[in-house]
Structure 1
């Protein structure tokens, strides 16, 4: 329900040898001027009010991302009822579809920002999210497939805004201030989540389309504000020379890699989530799964052998990154399971109302913000491998508490503590993952760190829903009674326990590997010191 400061967001502009830009006045509209061997961080010179407006505008990308996810979470049944839809497999598409496009296009969104300007793509993403939010509300006059399509298209908005927001902060703030600004970026996530959990049901009490119409109006305002609040990004010397022709620009965008990668991710995710609606008996479902594997193989071939500017540098991925990817995928896929199935237990079995559930989840507002800010302070002082293990242990404990929670149990026992611990897990895993990624790859690939990690995070959430939903359908005996429903829901939660246990083992192995590497480095340093003193 929250995302964290992506500490490894080191843009290509950072530390560049010959960038050109200066910030000029407080309006944020920079004027280019050659400044060899110097990089001017525009936002460092802003006064307090200008800085607050800038940070709030950029952080609105994460706020609206979480808002768009959570304002639908507790109102699924209300929306489905207006269309005459009640099957859990069909309802889950409203969450999975949003996550599908968000997770699939985050990496491409970051690349588009690198090529055409982070500010421009950020504004386009906000405008797109506003337009598709309006479409989601208007779909009340059409049909459920149109509504789901609107939700799927909505995910493209944050796929454009989130990675470019991180790049904007990386380019506008120097190393010291940047850490806390990323922390504020992370802190905006639980605020957006709570806004969605609270105002979604409130607007649904009037008429559910106002959930999306109000969102559309607010985001339209933010897209206009971004034009004035976000400065023009500094441009590195030589960037324009690198993109003199359309062909060279297309080459840098890696269209073959992007298309094959997107098709592979979409087909794989579609197969698992659509199987909840039609089951695996339909040939087109497993055909999509087979095709996704073929396109994935083509993607890796293109990235390794064909592309001059790979959208994902497969050749530089190391065992450290493999551990990180495994931990992040295991942890955040359980996040999707918690969100969807714990909420379903509360609404469909326990009998809570959406407003009551929003109150139950309200502690994330305090713990999420606090954890994000604390992590922003200690992230450079504690080894990332240690933070990752802590995060995975929190994921595991939360999963266990959710799976063991008795029906109609007191809020202040299982649910309260699970909610608190979950925020610790999410707000510590992302910065740790991004730092490990940044340390494991060459400098020229560090700028894509946040986009790669965010791709895995959001895609895992959507895919986790598909896996868990398949388990639910296989064991809930049709879900005709509360007991059958609960049995299916519990099966998904125990699946999340297994995933987080696997992730915890991966994190422990990585920690031991990191400690061994640090010890060898210290021994080598000691030997060098001894040799120099003897000489």
Structure 2
């Protein structure tokens, strides 16, 4: 078999591949949050009650989290580019259905379909970067993906608010269609295909079902927790089903001759360590981005727009520094940036925990936000690169799926549990006197999670990742051969 041709980061093809993966994942990331802005208009336009509006958010999160492992596994089996493009097309059709939905029931159904498309495209994007770029350029490519993706996440709420005010809530879904069409065109012309040639073509049905039940049960339980309370039967049953589903998933995967997630990948210390760090760091991030904006409005008296803009320096810093951080991690190894980054974030969160009534943005908010952005910029690209690069390139898809599932589960758990762990009790997040102490304690807990992530990184993340065999490419009739100037032959 011919040796695969890998892409250089600074080549024309490399820029197209990065653009396709950034735009593709931005669609899924933005639609996870932008709908919140349009909920009042959706409620009025479709005469929907609160429960129906909640499910327009929960339906998307549920299907996305439940099937994201399947998306990564399918990419390894049948081709990362192929599954990524199917996910983009699926997402576009579901977005069109959302935009045309005549009632809340059909909108919820279309949102569930959107989540399925997101589960197919999200792990595929990172797997494409890991499998397509030369090894020395992968960390830089993933860093650029992180920074540029952050811009999409930051601009999404502003774009959504503008579309709702300027026209209709339906536009926040319909705008996805031309963007998805452009991504499909770029991917067809420029993204190379890769897969795991030793992966079984048969789908692990038992693994898919138990994994979906496990992740879906936990997702629904954590999502319903804040509204229903921890003692509600629906919450308890959902969490119990999730735990039983994940236990069954592990047992099925251990005994399956062709598992969706080969459990032996967790024997790699760097992979297990990177996902433990991901769990802690993204649990902290979920709490920070949820509580800081609320605290600025309820306690500090900021307007909704001012509180939304307050965290923008984090996005700017990640855009400017993530690629450089990825290159630094590639040069000196991931242990130092993955140890130092969470510690810098922990210091920032201690400062941000002091934001109180009548806080000034320049003196009380901005210093902590800038330090937090510097810490994340130092951490995220090496963390993602380690989670993917610690395994053979043949497992790029499932490695991305696992890491995405861990990050999303951590964020859901954090938003549900953190206010309670910080002492909210029967209090309210919209009452200043009740929120202020909860906010302070919660951010100190987040600082502790960051510090714990730093300790784990120091002991479990190596100075250098072992070299692995590259993923095999195969002929894709949908795209032309890569130009020699854009590629190098990989060494076996």
Q: TM > 0.5 between the two?
A: yes
* Maintained 8 Å contact 1:96/1:462: no
Q: 2:193 and 2:221 mapped to 1: Cα distance?
A: 40
1:438-475 residue CA offsets vs partner (Å, 9 max, x unmatched): 67656754663333222211221122222235457943
Aligned with residue 450 of structure 1, among 400, 406, 412: 400
- Answering whether residue 211 of structure 2 is matched by residue 249 of structure 1, we say no
**Whole-angstrom CA distance in 2 between matches of 1:46 and 1:501:** 35
2:99 matches 1:129: no
Deviation sequence 1:133-153 (CA, Å, 0-9, x none): 3444455x534x765665554
Find the counterpart in structure 2 of residue 424 from structure 1.
Answer: 374
Q: Corresponding residue for 1:118?
A: 80
SS in 1 for 2:5: coil
The alpha-carbon distance between structure 1 residues 463 and 381, as it changes in their structure 2 partners (threshold 3 A), is same
Residue deviations 1:342-378 (CA, integer Å, cap 9, x gap): 2222344444444334433332343111221211321
* Cα deviation 1:82-116 (Å, max 9, x = unaligned): 789998x9988766664444344332212112222
Q: Closer, same or farther in 2 for the Cα pair 1:266/1:470, shift >3 Å?
A: farther
Q: TM-score, normalized by length of structure 1?
A: 0.74
User: How far, CA to CA, are the matches of 2:419 and 2:43 in structure 1?
Assistant: 17
Q: Give the superposed CA RMSD.
A: 3.7
Residue in structure 1 matched with residue 317 of structure 2 by the alignment: 367
Q: Sort the Cα spacing of 1:326 and 1:180 in 2 relative to 1 into closer, same or farther, 3 A.
A: closer
Find the aligned partners of 1:355 and 1:477 in 2 and give their Cα distance: 25
SS where residue 357 of structure 2 aligns? coil
Give the equivalent residue in structure 1 for 2:134: 174
List gaps (5 residues or longer) in structure 2.
464-492
Match of 2:157 in 1: 197
Matched, 1:39 2:4: yes
Q: Which runs of 5+ in 1 are unaligned?
A: 1-17, 19-34, 516-535
Worse-matched range after superposition: 60-69 or 351-360: 351-360
After superposition, give the CA deviation of every residue in 1:42-95 in whole Å (9 maximum; x if it has no partner). x559974x55444322321233233324534666666668789998x9988766
Q: Per-residue deviation at 1:407?
A: 2.8
Given the alignment of the two structures, is residue 209 of structure 1 paired with residue 159 of structure 2, yes or no?
Answer: no
Residue number in structure 2 paired with 1:14: none
TM-score (norm 2): 0.80
**Paired residue total:** 465
* 1:392-425 superposed Cα distances (whole Å, 9 cap, x missing partner): 1133223323322113311123432333333334
Q: Is the alpha carbon distance of 1:466 and 1:480 closer, same or farther for their aligned partners in structure 2, counting shifts above 3 Å?
A: closer
Aligned to 2:294: 344
Residue 106 (1) aligns with residue 68 (2): yes
Query: Is the alpha carbon distance of 1:442 and 1:214 closer, same or farther for their aligned partners in structure 2, counting shifts above 3 Å?
Result: closer
Distance 2:24 2:336 in 1: 29
Over 3 Å counting, the alpha-carbon distance change for 1:82 and 1:500 in structure 2 is farther
**In the TM superposition, what is the alpha-carbon distance from 1:437 to its structure 2 partner?**
4.5
The secondary structure found in structure 2 opposite 1:380 is helix
Contact 2:98 2:107 in 1 (8 A): yes
Structure 1 Cα separation of the partners of residues 149 and 69 of structure 2 = 20
User: Distance in 1 between the 2:411 and 2:278 partners?
Assistant: 10
Q: State whether structure 2 residue 411 is matched by structure 1 residue 461.
A: yes
Report the CA distance shift for 1:314/1:413 in structure 2 as closer, same or farther (over 3 A).
farther
Aligned equivalent of 2:22, options 59, 63, 71: 59
* Distance change (3 Å), C-alpha of 1:507 and 1:51: closer
Shift, 1:489, TM fit: 4.5
